[in-house]
Amino acid sequence: MGKPVKPRLALLAVPLLIAACGGKPATPAASPAETSAQAREKEPDENVEKDPLLSEAKIAHVVVPEAFITPATPAENVDSPASWRAADGTRWLIATAKDTHRLVVYDGGTGKQLRTVSGPGSELGQMQRPNGIAVIDDLVLVVERDNRRVQVFQLPDFKPLLVFGADELKQPYGLWVRPQKDAYEVIVSDNYMSPQNEDAPPPLAELGQRFKRYHLQRAEGGWKANLAGMFGDTGEAGAIRIAESVFGDAANDRLLLAEEDVAVGTRLREYGLDGTYRGRDIGTDLFKAQAEGMALAQCAGGAGYWIATDQFKDRSVFHVFDRITLTYKGAFAGNKTANTDGVWLDQSADARFPQGAFYAVDDDQAVAAFDWRDIAKALSLPECRAE
């Protein structure tokens, strides 16, 4: 984003019909999938003059074949995945679909679509442009950008429990959830833009509320959530201009926040759990496209690995860092997986994925699965038994 961002307008895909005079055939009408892609609203982080390509970036990486990729559904505009283990041991893969305003549920071991959940609207149980998603225990938390809120569902029935955040959130995208005693802490990224130009980040002094912190807990007759604070660095070095992906490591008092603004240099910034910028950036010279979704492999004994997405249009790269020191361990890419927004790491074991599975959205229309054993072998990572 070295140049001013372009107005974020929806484009109408109108087939251009050329008269048959002079022997020129009519231009074929766009397919429904092409029409959907052309008409799709651009996010603030998508306003670039040229799509970055891994084929041109010359980033050292190994190739890890996908275990599977779910059937492509371009009309959904898939953004972020999460997973959950059902009582019978089945692994459910749940993804947000921005353009159809619902969740898509797949078999996490095969990629077969099982069902969809919700639909457009603002009532409890309905959604408007769901974006970030997280699963913890038997709860699914979904960020709805256009309803400016977070909605909580209970598994396995996807029973809607409550919505929260609409009084404070302006343009929410991502979230991270961690357990606390008898409650959960929920940190939501809020990518509100400049009041003078909705396609540009606000001035640094106005970025102190980039992230909202909520306290979610059971209450008499149901659940409740309260705003517990806001944070965001307002200095030149630590501010997050374009905010979406956030993930934390409570054991190491660490939050990693993706700075997606390529104009200042896309990278990860390290904050403490208290919301204070630590003065350290990760991947400053590594991310060549755009820092996106993150996941954390938590290994027995406190070891582990951070996985962070570099969102190239042709094939995404996933950078891997040491959990404790944040030193670089290498990068991998799939055979096909591209243009990735959200990712999710499920470390639970089953017959299909004995050491867990890493899920990554593929080009807004599917979710790819990688066997953790294949990733570890390709990067020569020591065995990681889940904590």
Look at residue 17 and tell me whether its pLDDT is greater than 50.
no
Check residue 369 and give its pLDDT: 98
* Domain assignments of the chain as residue spans, ordered by start: 66-379
Check residue 1 and give its pLDDT: 39
SS3 189: strand
Distance CA 61, CA 328 (A): 12
Check residue 385 and give its pLDDT: 87
Check residue 386 and give its pLDDT: 87
Q: What is the mean pLDDT of residues 272-292?
A: 97
Yes or no: say if 328 and 290 are a contact pair by the CB < 8 Å rule: no
Of residues 100 and 42, more confidently modeled: 100
Residue owning tokens 């089953």: 350
Yes or no: say if 217 and 182 are a contact pair by the CB < 8 Å rule: yes
Distance CA 149, CA 172 (A): 7
Of residues 351 and 20, more confidently modeled: 351
Check residue 11 and give its pLDDT: 32
Look at residue 21 and tell me whether its pLDDT is greater than 80.
no
Strand-pairing partners, residue 267, are 259
Check residue 40 and give its pLDDT: 62
CA distances from 373 to 112, 168, 293, 355, 368 (A): 22, 42, 21, 6, 15
**Nearest to 314, CA basis, from 297, 332, 342, 289:** 289
Summarize pLDDT for 32-69 with one digit per residue, the tens.
Answer: 444 444 456 666 656 666 889 999 998 999 999 999 99
Look at residue 234 and tell me whether its pLDDT is greater than 60.
yes
SS3 297: strand
Residue owning tokens 């979406």: 244
> What is residue 299's DSSP assignment?
B
pLDDT averaged over every residue in the chain: 90
Grade residue 377 by pLDDT with cuts at 50, 70 and 90.
Answer: very high
CATH architecture of the domain 66-379 equals 6 Propeller (2.120)
- What's the whole-model pTM score? 0.89
Check residue 344 and give its pLDDT: 98
Percentage of residues of the chain with pLDDT beyond 90: 83
Look at residue 204 and tell me whether its pLDDT is greater than 50.
yes
Look at residue 31 and tell me whether its pLDDT is greater than 80.
no
Check residue 129 and give its pLDDT: 98
